[in-house]
């Protein structure tokens, strides 16, 4: 009987994912769902053939020199891989995969929640009703910003950006986008391409980020960039917190340049930025863009598909 590869699942994944993993691998699962230290990740790398981590585990920097030689593949339960130094891992003979495609719908869906929540003053309205303070109404009461018919600017027209654009058309929004590469006309579906952010920002009544965090994009939403948006714009980020200069964002909110913001990610996670909590026009969620049962199952299965292919001597579909 062939010995099963030894797999370390570093966070608690969906029940269906764990059932399948236990069937095909010799598994050790972090049922306590605590965050492992760097030293524990190094120690584990010498005891397992594969690690199935999330974005919360980091494989970068000096710790890579200490990784055990037994570890052959890191099959990430995430699309983003900025927590992994892929070239350095490859040099050590360690394959890296991710889970694209399967979370696009859920993340775009949550992006629309952020957009609507910020535009229609959801935090302020919920607080009024929840605290028993709703004792007044007039035509001027709780007037927000209309999403339907507005101009939506998308930064990064990858999988999530394209799904968001499709959803936006259902609200009769005019879609504009900036991306490294222009989509073919049939994929644009009427969206307006911009070759630069300088062109996109001034026409974005709503601006939504959907690009990865790279050395080129880290902190790219600066005070100058926020200043280029139309007055009263709504800013949405369901991609990566590192894309945004949060002090510049706060300044834009304080000055009234932005009428609201919807945020699912922050520079510091978990925790977020407490300075943003004082604003009733900032709708915030704790990085749950892909957090649906269906998507969590699909992400887990996609990671296991990559592991299955690797240990069968095949090239994983999502090899990076």
Q: What is the pLDDT of residues 17-62, one digit of tens each?
A: 999 999 999 999 999 999 999 999 999 999 999 999 999 999 999 9
Percent of the chain with pLDDT over 70: 99
pLDDT of residue 23: 97
Q: Give the pLDDT band of residue 213 (cuts 50, 70, 90).
A: confident
3-state per-residue secondary structure call for 22-60: HHHCEEEECCCCCCCCHHHHHHHHCCCCEEECCCCCCEC
Let me know if 269 is a catalytic residue.
Answer: yes
Longest C-alpha distance within the chain, in Å?
Answer: 75
List the catalytic residue out of 159, 287, 296, 302.
287
Q: What is the pLDDT of residues 254-277, one digit of tens each?
A: 999 999 999 999 999 999 999 999
**Phi and psi of 167, rounded to 5°?**
-65, -40
pTM, whole model, 2 decimals?
A: 0.91
Q: With contact defined as beta carbons under 8 Å apart, do 68 and 78 qualify?
A: no
Q: Give the pLDDT band of residue 80 (cuts 50, 70, 90).
A: confident
List the catalytic residue out of 26, 124, 188, 269.
269
The b/e string for 213-246 (b: 16+ C-beta within 10 A; e otherwise) is beeebeebbeeebbebbbeebbbbbbbbbbbbbb
Question: What is d(CA 55, CA 27) in angstroms, rounded to the nearest whole number?
Answer: 20
Q: Minimal CA–CA distance to 261: which of 114, 110, 108?
A: 114
List the catalytic residue out of 240, 246, 296, 302.
240
Domains of the chain: 6-102+293-311 (3.40.50.720), 104-284 (3.40.50.720)
Question: What is d(CA 36, CA 11) in angstroms, rounded to the nearest whole number?
Answer: 9
In the predicted model, what is the mean pLDDT of residues 316-320?
97
Question: What is d(CA 187, CA 165) in angstroms, rounded to the nearest whole number?
Answer: 10
Q: With contact defined as beta carbons under 8 Å apart, do 92 and 64 qualify?
A: yes
């Amino acid at each position: 009987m062939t010995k099963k590869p030894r797999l370390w699942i570093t966070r608690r994944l969906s029940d269906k994912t764990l059932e399948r993993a236990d069937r095909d691998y010799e598994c050790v699962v972090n049922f306590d769902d605590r965050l492992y230290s760097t030293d524990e990740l190094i120690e584990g790398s010498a005891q397992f053939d594969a690690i199935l981590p999330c974005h919360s585990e980091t494989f970068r920097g000096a710790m890579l020199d200490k990784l055990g030689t037994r570890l052959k593949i890191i099959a990430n339960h995430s699309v983003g891989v900025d927590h992994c130094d892929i070239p350095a891992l490859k040099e050590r003979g360690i394959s890296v995969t991710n889970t694209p495609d399967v979370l696009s719908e859920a993340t775009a869906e949550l992006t629309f929640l952020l957009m609507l929540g910020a535009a229609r003053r959801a935090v302020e309205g919920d607080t009024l009703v929840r605290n028993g303070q709703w004792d007044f109404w007039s035509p001027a009461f709780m007037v927000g910003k209309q999403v339907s018919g507005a101009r939506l600017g998308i930064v990064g027209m990858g999988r999530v950006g394209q799904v968001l654009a499709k959803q936006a058309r259902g609200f009769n929004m005019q879609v504009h986008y900036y991306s490294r590469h222009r989509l073919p006309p049939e994929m644009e579906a009427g969206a307006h391409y911009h070759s630069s952010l300088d062109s996109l920002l001034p026409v974005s009544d709503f601006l939504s980020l959907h690009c990865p965090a790279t050395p080129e994009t880290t902190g790219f939403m600066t005070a100058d960039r926020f200043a280029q948006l139309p007055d009263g714009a709504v800013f949405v980020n369901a991609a990566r917190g590192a894309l945004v200069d949060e002090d510049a964002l706060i300044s834009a909110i304080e000055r009234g340049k932005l009428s609201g913001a919807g945020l699912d990610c922050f520079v510091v996670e978990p925790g977020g930025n407490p300075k943003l909590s004082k604003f009733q026009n900032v709708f915030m969620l704790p990085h749950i863009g892909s957090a649906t049962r269906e998507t969590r199952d699909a992400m887990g299965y996609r990671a296991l598909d990559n592991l299955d292919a690797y240990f069968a001597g095949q090239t994983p579909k999502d090899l990076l």
